[in-house]
């Protein structure tokens, strides 16, 4: 969708907050452990390239993305650091990945057979770096069988097309207080690791939650995602060991203000009807921007005061009840701080009955991103 630069709705990304979150985590890691910043899905809606650059300044060694296209976007921005694609890539794209020094995830022998065919068609193709995904309980992608993993590892050792750069797993419950399932996954991963004839350069299991709350198991790399953005992966369940600083705010302005009278209704379905004379403000954001229809009833901040969204959220506009007549052009805070009050992404997610990961990824690129520069330390 076309970014709407002239509409007064925008996201503000605080680069200092991102720097702080990555830097704090780096300080906790031992010197041998690499921090790969997870910048998939446009850096969780914060903007791929600007976030990647700040992460590098703060000490990130490499990046994890979900798709090869995201990896290629990093390379096109002259980012030369190691990149791992976490999802399964079409085998057809193996030569592009090899040529661009992008590491791919492999979860079975069949993929390697297919990729070998494509790689064999290219003269002087560099070796493709791969990481074995092991499925120790996430039930998503990866080797489940130790013997199959061992056999494939031998195949890779003997193949001229591939080099094994890493092995990893992903936990399903690292953000929960109960650690039983987590421990079972750790035990399975240790068996998987032991099945390799040689330990690869990177062994990694930790997402943000694992790195924040669990001892790493024989690992030397973390895949640090949501905490980069200052968001607690557990929601309310567990306290982070340092202050995570939220990086994203969402602002707009009152674009239209009017008085309505008792009995007048607002928005589609006429679901909201005024009881008295009321001041209503219209804000140019809607579900096409990722401000979900479920946000009806949620508040926004104007002049430090909470104003509820009344009636249904439209595609491009919402209406709020104002405590008094406010001027057109008054600043509206949908996420972030306004005077003494703050609307956090966690509050928005709780209201919408979802997780903050989903709210940030839903914020559409119709909303321009503005970047607050880093402050010097």
CB of 223 to ligand PMH, least distance (A): 4
For ligand PMH, give the closer residue by CB, 95 or 225. Answer: 225
d(CA 182, CA 202): 21
For the question of residue 268 being annotated catalytic, the response is yes
- 71 binds ligand PMH per the rule CB under 6 A: no
For ligand PMH, give the closer residue by CB, 212 or 301. Answer: 212
The residue at minimum Cβ distance from ligand PMH is 225
Residue 168 makes CB contacts below 8 A (sequence gap 6+) with 131, 132, 133, 134, 202, 203, 204, 205, 223
Q: Which of residues 186-245 bind ligand PMH (CB under 6 A)?
A: 207-209, 223-226, 233
- Selected from 18, 48, 83, 86, the binder of ligand PMH by CB under 6 A is 86
Closest CA to 167 of 228, 212, 217: 217
Residue 123 makes CB contacts below 8 A (sequence gap 6+) with none
CB of 279 to ligand PMH, least distance (A): 40
- Selected from 118, 132, 357, 371, the binder of ligand PMH by CB under 6 A is 357
- Selected from 38, 292, 300, 359, the binder of ligand PMH by CB under 6 A is 38
Q: Which of residues 136-175 bind ligand PMH (CB under 6 A)?
A: 170
For the question of residue 40 being annotated catalytic, the response is yes
Specify whether the CB–CB gap between 57 and 374 falls below 8 A. Answer: yes
Q: Write down the catalytic residue from 19, 26, 40, 357.
A: 40
Q: Which residues are catalytic?
A: 40, 268
Where along the sequence are the contacts to ligand PMH (CB under 6 A)?
A: 38, 86, 170, 207-209, 223-226, 233, 357
């Amino acid at each position: 969708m076309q970014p709407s630069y002239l509409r007064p709705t925008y996201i503000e990304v605080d680069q200092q907050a991102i720097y702080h979150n990555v830097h704090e985590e780096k300080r906790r890691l031992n010197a041998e452990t690499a921090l790969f910043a997870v910048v998939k899905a446009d850096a969780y809606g914060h903007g791929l390239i600007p976030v990647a650059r700040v992460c590098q300044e703060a000490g990130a060694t490499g990046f994890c993305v979900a798709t090869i296209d995201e990896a290629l976007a990093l390379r096109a921005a002259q980012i030369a650091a190691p990149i791992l694609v976490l999802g399964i890539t079409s085998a057809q794209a193996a030569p592009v990945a090899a040529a661009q020094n992008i590491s791919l995830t492999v979860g079975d022998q069949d993929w390697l057979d297919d990729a070998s065919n494509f790689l064999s068609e290219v003269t002087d193709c560099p070796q493709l770096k791969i990481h074995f995904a092991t499925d120790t309980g996430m039930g998503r992608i990866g080797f489940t069988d130790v013997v199959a993993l061992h056999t494939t590892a031998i195949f890779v050792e003997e193949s001229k097309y591939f080099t094994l750069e890493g092995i990893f797993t992903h936990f399903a419950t690292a953000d929960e207080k109960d650690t039983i399932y987590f421990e079972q996954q750790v035990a399975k991963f240790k068996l998987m690791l032991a099945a390799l004839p040689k330990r690869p350069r990177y062994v990694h299991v930790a997402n943000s939650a694992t790195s924040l709350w669990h001892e790493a198991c024989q690992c030397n790399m973390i895949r640090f995602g949501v905490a980069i953005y200052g968001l607690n992966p557990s929601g309310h369940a567990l306290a982070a060991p340092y202050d995570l600083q939220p990086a994203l705010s969402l602002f707009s302005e009152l674009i239209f203000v009017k008085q309505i009278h008792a009995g007048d209704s607002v928005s589609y379905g006429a679901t909201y009807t005024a009881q008295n004379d009321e001041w209503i403000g219209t804000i140019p954001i809607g579900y096409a921007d990722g401000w979900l229809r479920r946000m009806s009833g949620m508040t926004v901040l104007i002049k430090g005061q909470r104003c509820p969204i009344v009636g249904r959220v439209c595609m491009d506009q919402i209406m709020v009840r104002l405590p008094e007549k406010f001027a057109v052009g008054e600043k509206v805070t949908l996420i972030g701080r306004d005077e003494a009050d703050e609307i956090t992404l966690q509050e928005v997610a709780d209201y919408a009955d979802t997780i903050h990961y989903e709210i940030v990824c839903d914020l559409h690129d119709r909303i321009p991103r503005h970047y607050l520069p880093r402050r010097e330390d």
